[in-house]
């Protein structure tokens, strides 16, 4: 098990997909820094390029690099079929469950590792040009607190892992790049947009039971945007949203990893 994991990890770092997404990340950091600088120079009393704003903006799964990650993860996964890597591992005597579990681990490392680097670089640029002052509102979430940022990072990590599990499940079953990318990207955007609409429909009743927030891993992103306005520009997570923001992505991680493993075991790998 350890040998197949080391081999897959080594292959990931040498894969062109990994190099391409690193370059995309660097270009986007430079572009967002430049864009933020232009915005700040052309407006009064409004700061986009700050450490806290760049942190929460770059961490979101629905921002530019957040959407690029599952697309590249799909390419990495389908490449295992295209180049016969899955087949070779099975022929070598590795159980299909081990092979799929290794792909999950590699996909998780790929996703969390790259988004961490991207967020750190983006935040660093924000700190250099605008400092890190929590009294200055972030463009999306308003006035932030240390507790909110800590929770936001935790929920984002879980959400990225959920999207990675979903992306691997889709790509290993469809085995078509265009179809897999379309399903994953459209699903992520629908989940985010519907979270906005559902939360807007419950203004004034945020603590009421809402089944949708317990099954949508991106619900907290739309919800916090709506809640910030309702709370006078202060970003907070209420108790129910805090719990559901952990439960929903964990549900996706478990369900799609289990289903993916079962489907992969039953599939004839050629």
> Distance between CA 126 and CA 53 in Å, rounded?
8
- pLDDT at residue 239, as a whole number: 86
- pLDDT at residue 163, as a whole number: 97
| Contacts for 23 with CB less than 8 Å, ≥ 6 apart | none
- pLDDT at residue 63, as a whole number: 87
> Distance between CA 47 and CA 65 in Å, rounded?
22
- pLDDT at residue 95, as a whole number: 87
The proportion of the chain whose per-residue pLDDT surpasses 70, expressed as a percent, equals 92
Distance of CA 270 to CAs 82, 90, 101, 264, Å?
A: 10, 10, 19, 12
**pLDDT class of 41 with cuts at 50, 70, 90:** confident
Of the chain, the end-to-end C-alpha distance in Å amounts to 22
- pLDDT at residue 137, as a whole number: 81
- H helices present in 131-176, as ranges: 146-174
**Mean per-residue pLDDT over the chain, rounded:** 87
**pLDDT class of 166 with cuts at 50, 70, 90:** very high
> Distance between CA 151 and CA 140 in Å, rounded?
16
- pLDDT at residue 232, as a whole number: 67
> Distance between CA 53 and CA 51 in Å, rounded?
6
> Distance between CA 46 and CA 57 in Å, rounded?
16
Which tens digit of pLDDT belongs to each residue from 172-219?
999 888 999 999 999 999 999 999 888 887 766 656 668 889 999 999
> Distance between CA 5 and CA 13 in Å, rounded?
13
Which tens digit of pLDDT belongs to each residue from 219-265?
988 888 777 776 767 778 888 889 999 999 999 999 999 999 999 99
- pLDDT at residue 209, as a whole number: 63
Max avg pLDDT among 109-123, 132-146, 209-223:
109-123
- pLDDT at residue 234, as a whole number: 76
* Average pLDDT of the segment spanning 130-157: 87
User: Where do the domains of the chain lie?
Assistant: 2-266
Q: Look up residue 2 and give its two tokens.
A: 């350890």
* Average pLDDT of the segment spanning 157-178: 94
Whole-prediction pTM: 0.91
- pLDDT at residue 169, as a whole number: 96
Which tens digit of pLDDT belongs to each residue from 86-100?
888 888 777 888 889
């Amino acid at each position: 098990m350890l040998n197949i994991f080391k081999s897959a990890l080594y292959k990931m770092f040498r894969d062109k997909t990994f190099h391409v997404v690193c370059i995309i990340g660097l270009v986007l950091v430079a572009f967002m820094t430049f864009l933020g600088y232009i915005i700040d120079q052309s407006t009064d009393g409004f700061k986009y390029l700050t450490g806290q704003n760049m942190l929460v903006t770059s961490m979101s799964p629905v921002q530019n690099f957040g959407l690029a990650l599952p697309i590249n993860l799909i390419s990495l996964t389908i490449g295992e079929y295209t180049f016969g890597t899955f087949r070779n591992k099975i022929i070598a005597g590795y159980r299909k469950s081990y092979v799929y579990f290794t792909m999950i681990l590699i996909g998780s490392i790929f996703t969390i590792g790259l988004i961490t680097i991207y967020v750190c670089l983006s935040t660093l640029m924000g700190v250099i040009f605008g400092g890190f002052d929590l009294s200055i509102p972030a463009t999306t979430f308003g006035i932030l607190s240390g507790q909110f940022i800590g929770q936001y990072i935790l929920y984002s990590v879980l959400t990225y892992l959920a999207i990675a599990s979903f992306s691997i499940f889709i790509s290993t079953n469809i085995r078509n790049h265009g179809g897999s990318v379309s399903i994953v990207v459209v699903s992520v955007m629908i989940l985010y947009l519907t979270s906005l609409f559902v939360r807007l429909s419950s203004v004034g009743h945020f603590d009421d039971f809402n089944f949708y927030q317990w099954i949508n891993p991106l619900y907290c992103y739309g919800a916090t945007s709506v809640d910030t306005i309702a709370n006078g520009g202060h970003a907070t997570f209420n108790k129910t949203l805090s719990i559901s923001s952990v439960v929903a992505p964990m549900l996706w991680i478990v369900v799609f990893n289990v289903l993916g493993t079962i489907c992969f075991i039953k599939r004839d790998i050629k």
